[in-house]
Amino acid sequence: MPSTPLDSHLFRDMFGTPAMRAVFSDEALLGRYGEAEAALARAEAKVGVIPADAARAIDAASRGLRFDMERMKRETENVGYPILPLVHQLADAAGEAGRFVHWGATTQDIMDTATVLQLRAALDLVAADIEALRGILAGLAAKYRDTPMAGRTHLQQALPITFGYKAAVWLSSMDRHAERLEQLRPRVLMGQFAGAAGTLASLGDKGLEVQAAFCAELGLAQPPITWHVARDGFAEAVGFLGLVTGSLAKVATDVMLMMATEFGGEAQEPFVKGRGGSSTMPQKRNPISSELILATAKAVRQQAGLMLDAMVQDFERATGPWHLEWMAVPESFILSSACLHHAKFMLGGLVVDADRMRANLGLTGGLIVAEAVMMAAAPKLGRQRAHDVVYDACRAAITSGRSLADALGEVPEVVEALGGREGVERRCDPANYLGLAPQMVDRVLSGRGAE
């Protein structure tokens, strides 16, 4: 009976996706074990370590084997690892050739290689989601390139930006994650075959040749040396997921805040009847996707820390630390798949209210662009004099409830420095002080187009 959100019938599609769960299912894992054992037999036959007929029989048996799951469970609980129970069933299925199953290998060789095969499939799913998000964010950045809104620092209005600029900032992190993913693949997708203590001693001078053939059979890189207790590759993969989901959590936080009543709904998650509803308050439209992004991202970060702990392994074969990976790797990928899924849904249907953004820019009556006024007046008044005059005008505007333009209009030297009342109005319009935000959007989008 399911007992956690990851496998619960009620919650599993909120905290994972069917595709990612399939990659890490028991059936898929046993299939990967069998795939590794068959590849090993084929590799050893090519090198002349075992008979070719035996390799063919083992390969055929691995493809047609239907595991006795109850027997696997019972023997795995007894042994502590699933490979010996698997070898028993595979050897039985292979008949006479069964005596050559698992030749020269150790349990961790097969388990590590199976995990790498899972990671390859899982990373492909992550890569597809990242690419989809990049497309969505690029569309938002281009569409809202020139749509002004308040830029906020420390939750206070600071200077005007554009919503396209905000989306391009989000996009830039996903661009880097796509690059990171391609860079980490060679470090993570390495086969593992090294024998009992990692020295390939049982195969004599054929060891490295078998290892190379084994990795080639599976399309994996051959490692320069055994990584039984050097777990940085797996830790990097999960750490990468922490970075990706961390970026998505930042996006979700921005969207949640923009959905707040006090922000007037500058942006809203896609409307689906009943989604985000309250059992007692009919008016509510809660940011459910963003909340799930935050929750899954936090959980992935915990798994990343667990993987760092699992790196601390003793001597040439680990005790408990290795077992931590059995929990952290599948859970981190399943949680990340949910995080990416919710982000695609939320951003793909994001409702952007440009009018509300413009209205919020006017909440301060022009104070948000006091810097613009000061810098425009500085060439004639000097920077310090301009600062002092505009500072006094800001205080007057705040205490009297007037706009900054009205307060400045009563300061003749500022009016003259800005080229008259029309110049004052122009400088006090936040839409005219966007800096290079639109050009920065172009830079991000052009960098994406150059790929």
Active site residues: 154, 278
Question: 158: helix, coil or strand?
Answer: strand
CA–CA dist 332, 338 (Å, integer): 10
Strand partners, 352: 267
Distance of alpha carbon 434 from the chain centroid: 30
Orientation angle between helical segments 83-94 and 69-79, nearest 10 degrees = 140
Burial class of residue 382, CB neighbours in 10 A (0-12, 13-18, 19+): exposed
CA–CA dist 129, 338 (Å, integer): 10
**CB burial string 280-290: b at 16+ within 10 A, e below:** eeeeebebbbb
**CB burial string 214-252: b at 16+ within 10 A, e below:** bbbbbebbebeebbbbebebbbbbbbbbbbbbbbbbbbb
Q: Within 260-319, where are the H helices?
A: 288-310
CA–CA dist 409, 420 (Å, integer): 9
Q: Which amino acid is at 419?
A: G
